[in-house]
Structure 1
Amino acid sequence: MSSKKIGSLAMIILIFCSSTVFADSSYKLNEKRIFGKDRYETSAMISKDNWNSSSDVILCNGENFPDALCSVTLAKKYDAPILLVSKNAINENVMKELNRLNPKKITIIGKEGVISSEIEEKIKNFLPKKLQIERLGGMDRYETSKIIADKVGQSREIVLVSGKAPSDALTISSIAANKSMPVLLADENEESIQNYVKNNNVNKAYIIGGESCVPLEMERVAPSFERIYGKDRYESNQKVINRFRDSINFKSVYLTIASFNGVDQFADALSSAPLAAKDCSPIIFSDNTNKELLNIIQSKVNKDSTIIAIGGEKLVSNDTINNLIKSISSNQSNNSSSSGGSNNSNVKADYTLSLEQSFPGAFTYDLKFTSINSSNNLKEYQLLYDGKVIAEDKDGDGVVRVLAIFLGKDIDKSKFQILKQGEYINFNI
């Protein structure tokens, strides 16, 4: 057998008899809210809450989304917050936050028609030290996205989104940024995108949105492509998170709005995206509570996870947060109670455990789970304890290696789970 990943949790103990695994009835996620009285103050509050200082700051128009959509990957590159201004005015709280951050450089996204030169001069006069200000803006939103992509630098993979609706770009923004993938507006100018792909040796394009958003012709701009979309912004949100679920960190889940009173909204999601990108956390649209998405989140979160609402209660209500947490916690409890096996006659175990010492004198045991209804072994699964992965069958031979420091009596049997492709497996241990 090839070498196996050994869990680092020293308290893992192997149980040599059948038992039922029940969920901890006290399971409860943490929650937090970051907000100001408007989108500008909210952007300042997000920055203040998560950056002690920053040598770089990204400045975006809080009312004009196209130029701002592609800036998250650049913010991640600079480890910079995104602060929002209007075309001709800068919020007092944003100005205070700039002063607190004390940046050496500010990057303004968009030309003077998006953020005026008066804003630039006001910042220069307000901040006493010598300050570098760079403006990234093209003749239109498409050229601006390419200019930003050039600043991000070469990547073998890129993201193509529509420049006419913000939700598709925002749903993948933290993921793209964490993976250093430039985001390009691609519902027009196919030739320009093709030139960018060729000049930057791009291998693959992730197209976010259906053909009505990003046309079919864009599928041929790169050697390979993958289109991800749903029937609406909420299903697209779920589809993107499902696609990248194995690389997303669910310790923090950011809950924002995608629309309000029928109008597209982007500001709070944009402001939170650089923060979410730090550890590739997901951005969830607050109305997106479909079963598939709940199953994804439920399978990934643990008691250390936090649901972070971005925006005031008028936008993301306490009821929305509480209902989401309740649904996740309830699903976690239900799935956990059926993930083990089998003194409970109502729970049917699908697999049973067999184990042997890894080698004579070893402090580890090799485990495999065999189907009760056949001789087949479970493969490509994860073994969890208290919500944490302690062993994983990465090479697909069905065997995992686990520490066996102590034996039996003191371990909490209810905390063992098996997870395969987002589904919990019933088993005996």
Structure 2
Amino acid sequence: MNSTYSVDCTVNGIPQQGTDSSTGHPVWWPTAGDDADKHGTHVSGTIAASHNGSGVDGVNPNTTLAAIRVLKHNHTYLEQEVCGYVWAAKAGMDVTNASIGNRSPDYPGKYAVDKAYDTVLQRAVSYATKNNVVNVASAGNNKLDIDNIHDDTSLDRMRRQIEKRQPREVIGQAIDASNNENTFNPLTGLANQQSQGLGGSGLSLASNKGYIVPAMLDGVLAVSAVQKRGTYSVAPLSRANYSNYGSSSIDVAAPGSNVYSTYGTNYAYMSGTSMASPHVAGVASLLKSVHPDYSVSQIEQLLKKQAKERYNDLEAPADGAEYRGAGLVNAYAAVTEDQEQPTVSAQYSTDGGSSWHDLANARISGKATIRVTATGAVSSVSMNVDGQNRSAQGGDSYNGNATATVDVDFSTLTAVETCSLVLKAYGLNYDVSNDDVSKTIQFQAGRDAYATVTFDSNGGSTIASQNIHIGTMATQPMNPTRSGYTFQGWYTAKNGGTKYDFSQTVNGDMTLYAHWAKEPNALQRLAGDTRYDTMGAVVNAANWKTGGTVIVASGGNYPDALAASGLAGTMNAPIILTDGNILSPQDQSQLNQLAPSRIVIAGGASAISNTVMNSLKNICPNVQRVAGETRVDTSLNLYREGSGWGSTAVLATAGNFADALSISSYAYHMKAPVFLVNTNDLTARQRSALVSGRFSKVIVVGGTNAVSDHVAANAQSITGAQLVRLSGATRYETSEQIARWTMNNGLSMNGAVYATGANFPDALAAGPLAGKSGSATLLVENANSPAVSFSAEYKGKVDKAYVVGGTNVVDHITANAIADSLGLRHAQ
């Protein structure tokens, strides 16, 4: 029994599952006081006993059994039976078997409570039927004509007996009103109040329109029992002497006498309509297996139609007690009749069966294996091809298959021929004239004046090959596509060769190859809604390693971040810009991604507050502030914080940002300290640092209005270093001059960064990005900026460059001019 679907309905008609704590058994198992005649196991075995070589086989050994208990101590009540049918419907069962029967009071009767019993139970059965449950029930063992049971005067005696009791004590109980002589006696029934046990497929319960319920409820197949008349195995079948009958009430007959089946843990013979109905329930489950989409009505009609074929196997009743219904239940027909025709197919393989292809309209030019398959209710399949005959037998299953194969060789054919394969599949449907299938499949064999033109897209999208007549032209296909490349045409060789002319004729098999030209990369725009969003995009583009050092500087002013560009180079660190008063969400996100082991704050508390510093400590405990009283002092202290400096020092004005921005990536890459200086003089501490730094080269960025000749000469004098001044008439010319000089002094244009010269935040964040890849930083104003014309000198020589900031600071026209000058595609 399947415990998932089994249930106990004997507690107030409410389905119960689980384990009975007093017995350790499932709640739906029999308990003390129940009938111990193993009735339920006998019924269950008839339906589904396993095909295991022991005892008996059930009608359908593959069905899943569930028990729905509606009797307790051999009594049942209306709500219990209603619960059973409703549970069967809701659990999705296919078939119920009710090897029990109740004799309800005279229906319709003069008492409303009498009528209610049948009405309520009928509704439960109808609910199950509407949910596609086929319901089967035994007709009873009272020798009664149940078509006319209401005329029995003994019912009046039953009525009087009922009136002496409380109706609730009787109405709805399962009453076996037969005495030991199997004669109908309601008084005996009221005294015994017994019912036969539970067993079956899904629910075990049974009616059309009357007094034996559920057998006579609408939507229930009522089953009478038959027995052999005589001891011979071929003895005719007749009504079992105990079975109820009725020409209008009985739907189908089944064997019920001396039925051998499971009996507890053993086997035994039992007799009764209880033994007949599980035969019908088992056949119904077979039909549901064969026809899973059939409705209840279709299953019942088919079951009766097949039973009618065995009608003449039942003896006509000499006493007029009609018991046959539609006829004798027909299990064999359930799995052999009215099956659909077998489904047939034919395939071929040229690789020993590793892969199979549809034979219809195929062309086989050499050796191959041809396979035909018939699936379904098939007894055999045969084929004839290339003068060879092959056949294979199917099983006796309604869901079997048969496969036959044959090896062919068409390699000796000098021309293409149309061949035919004739296959036949023979079905199991002995009562259907068209259950056999004949089919002719045509295909081509051999070779003719055909050639195959194959297109090798060489990394691009797939292009189908063409089979064409030799002497005709191939059709030029649609151009393939390949991301990042431009299609150049079809060539006769993968590398080199000549471009193919599709106006020429084809003389044999050939392969054409796609040639491609790599498309330039696109200029990348790094931008966000705010300066901190832009900074985040810039930092992400550099792919910094985690666990290193990060420099944090104010995004509200420029000096500290500019001065820190060289220090960042010595530490291989990005520069994160933040609001001075609060750590922005963008900074928190970037710092969480970078997971630094050290954070250096560039600038004092007026630039980056202690509140921000504390927030940074929550991310990384190792936070250090480097600052001075002035921006000049801060730049000097940033120099002193570093180590591993290069041999070049940079002097830039402390009064503006443009010149230092342009040199920032050089300072980063060359590890050159940036000293922010006053226009007219160096401080004593700056002079000391320049001397102790032993620099061999001093670069002054900007004109004499930014850094005077006096300051430049003083720096050269005290260091003895080579002095280089890089300047122009405007900040944009200065930026171009700086970039031009750096091209010959360690930087390149591959990975160059372009930013607006009108403001500082974007370029501040981008300096480390360019410096990390050894590229220039250029300031632009518009499409005519000097940086654009300078970039044209490197057209086609770079595959990566960035424009930093949104279109409100570097517009599309300017960005497109930059891309064109470098030979890159426009930024998106």
Same fold by TM-score, threshold 0.5 exceeded?
yes
Aligned-partner Cα distance in 1 for 2:547–2:811? 31
Structure 2 residue corresponding to 1:272, chosen from 766, 772, 775: 766
C-alpha distance 310-149 of structure 1, shift in aligned 2 (>3 A): same
Please list, as runs of the form range in 1=range in 2, the aligned pairs for 1:31-46 lying within 5 A after superposition: 31-46=523-538
Corresponding letter in the other structure for 1:257: T
C-alpha distance 193-290 of structure 1, shift in aligned 2 (>3 A): farther
Corresponding letter in the other structure for 1:152: G
- Determine helix, strand or coil for the equivalent of 2:749: coil
Compute the displacement of 1:301 (Å).
Answer: 4.3
Please list, as runs of the form range in 1=range in 2, the aligned pairs for 1:304-315 lying within 5 A after superposition: 304-315=798-809
Aligned-partner Cα distance in 2 for 1:291–1:122? 41
Aligned-partner Cα distance in 1 for 2:760–2:610? 24
Aligned-partner Cα distance in 2 for 1:329–1:202? 38
Structure 2 residue corresponding to 1:149, chosen from 626, 639, 643: 639
**Partner in structure 2 of residue 176 of structure 1:** 667
**Partner in structure 2 of residue 243 of structure 1:** 741
Aligned-partner Cα distance in 2 for 1:277–1:149? 17
Aligned-partner Cα distance in 1 for 2:526–2:787? 23
**Partner in structure 1 of residue 756 of structure 2:** 257
Corresponding letter in the other structure for 1:109: A
Structure 2 residue corresponding to 1:124, chosen from 594, 617, 635: 617
Query: Would you say the 8 A contact 1:158–1:182 is kept in 2?
Result: yes
Structure 2 residue corresponding to 1:302, chosen from 796, 806, 809: 796
Query: Would you say the 8 A contact 1:58–1:81 is kept in 2?
Result: yes
Compute the displacement of 1:172 (Å).
Answer: 0.7
Compute the displacement of 1:159 (Å).
Answer: 0.4
Query: Would you say the 8 A contact 2:563–2:635 is kept in 1?
Result: yes
Aligned-partner Cα distance in 2 for 1:316–1:255? 9
Q: CA offsets per residue over residues 242-297 of structure 1, 9 Å max, x none?
A: 112133221212111110xxxxx111101011111012211121226558644542
Aligned-partner Cα distance in 2 for 1:329–1:242? 19
**Partner in structure 2 of residue 186 of structure 1:** 677
Aligned-partner Cα distance in 1 for 2:625–2:796? 42
Please list, as runs of the form range in 1=range in 2, the aligned pairs for 1:6-155 lying within 5 A after superposition: 28=520, 30-50=522-542, 51-125=544-618, 127=619, 131-153=621-643, 154-155=645-646
**Partner in structure 2 of residue 285 of structure 1:** 779
Compute the displacement of 1:171 (Å).
Answer: 0.3
Corresponding letter in the other structure for 2:659: D
Query: Would you say the 8 A contact 2:548–2:596 is kept in 1?
Result: yes
Matched, 1:197 2:690: yes
**Partner in structure 2 of residue 358 of structure 1:** none
Runs (5+) with no aligned partner, structure 2? 1-516
Matched, 1:165 2:659: no
Aligned-partner Cα distance in 2 for 1:291–1:138? 36
Aligned-partner Cα distance in 2 for 1:72–1:216? 24
Corresponding letter in the other structure for 2:621: L
Aligned-partner Cα distance in 2 for 1:294–1:84? 28
Matched, 1:233 2:727: no
C-alpha distance 158-304 of structure 1, shift in aligned 2 (>3 A): closer
Query: Would you say the 8 A contact 2:780–2:787 is kept in 1?
Result: no
Aligned-partner Cα distance in 1 for 2:790–2:821? 12
Query: Would you say the 8 A contact 1:237–1:288 is kept in 2?
Result: no
How many residues align? The count is: 299
C-alpha distance 304-201 of structure 1, shift in aligned 2 (>3 A): closer
Compute the displacement of 1:28 (Å).
Answer: 4.7
**Partner in structure 1 of residue 24 of structure 2:** none
- Determine helix, strand or coil for the equivalent of 1:244: helix
Query: Would you say the 8 A contact 1:29–1:307 is kept in 2?
Result: no
Query: Would you say the 8 A contact 2:603–2:634 is kept in 1?
Result: yes
Q: CA offsets per residue over residues 215-262 of structure 1, 9 Å max, x none?
A: 121122222311110001000001111112133221212111110xxx
Compute the displacement of 1:122 (Å).
Answer: 1.6
C-alpha distance 313-306 of structure 1, shift in aligned 2 (>3 A): same
Query: Would you say the 8 A contact 1:168–1:208 is kept in 2?
Result: yes
Corresponding letter in the other structure for 1:280: G
C-alpha distance 52-195 of structure 1, shift in aligned 2 (>3 A): closer
Compute the displacement of 1:303 (Å).
Answer: 5.7
Aligned-partner Cα distance in 2 for 1:299–1:54? 39
C-alpha distance 234-148 of structure 1, shift in aligned 2 (>3 A): same
- Determine helix, strand or coil for the equivalent of 1:99: helix
Aligned-partner Cα distance in 2 for 1:106–1:96? 15
Q: CA offsets per residue over residues 340-390 of structure 1, 9 Å max, x none?
A: xxxxxxxxxxxxxxxxxxxxxxxxxxxxxxxxxxxxxxxxxxxxxxxxxxx
Runs (5+) with no aligned partner, structure 1? 1-24, 260-264, 331-429
- Determine helix, strand or coil for the equivalent of 1:178: helix
Aligned-partner Cα distance in 1 for 2:795–2:666? 17
Corresponding letter in the other structure for 2:813: D
Q: CA offsets per residue over residues 116-170 of structure 1, 9 Å max, x none?
A: 1010112223x2xx52101110110001111111223344320000011101001
- Determine helix, strand or coil for the equivalent of 1:284: strand
Greater relative contact order structure (CA < 8 Å, 6+ sep): 1
Aligned-partner Cα distance in 1 for 2:780–2:531? 16
- Determine helix, strand or coil for the equivalent of 1:305: coil
Decide which structure has the larger Cα Rg and report it.
2
Corresponding letter in the other structure for 2:538: I
- Determine helix, strand or coil for the equivalent of 1:71: helix
Query: Would you say the 8 A contact 1:28–1:303 is kept in 2?
Result: no
What is the percent sequence identity of the aligned residues? 26
**Partner in structure 2 of residue 319 of structure 1:** 813
Corresponding letter in the other structure for 1:245: M
Corresponding letter in the other structure for 2:577: L
Aligned-partner Cα distance in 1 for 2:788–2:700? 24
Corresponding letter in the other structure for 2:731: R
Query: Would you say the 8 A contact 2:742–2:748 is kept in 1?
Result: no
TM-score when normalising by structure 2: 0.35
Compute the displacement of 1:193 (Å).
Answer: 2.5
Aligned-partner Cα distance in 2 for 1:292–1:57? 33
Corresponding letter in the other structure for 1:272: A
Aligned-partner Cα distance in 2 for 1:37–1:89? 18
- Determine helix, strand or coil for the equivalent of 1:75: helix
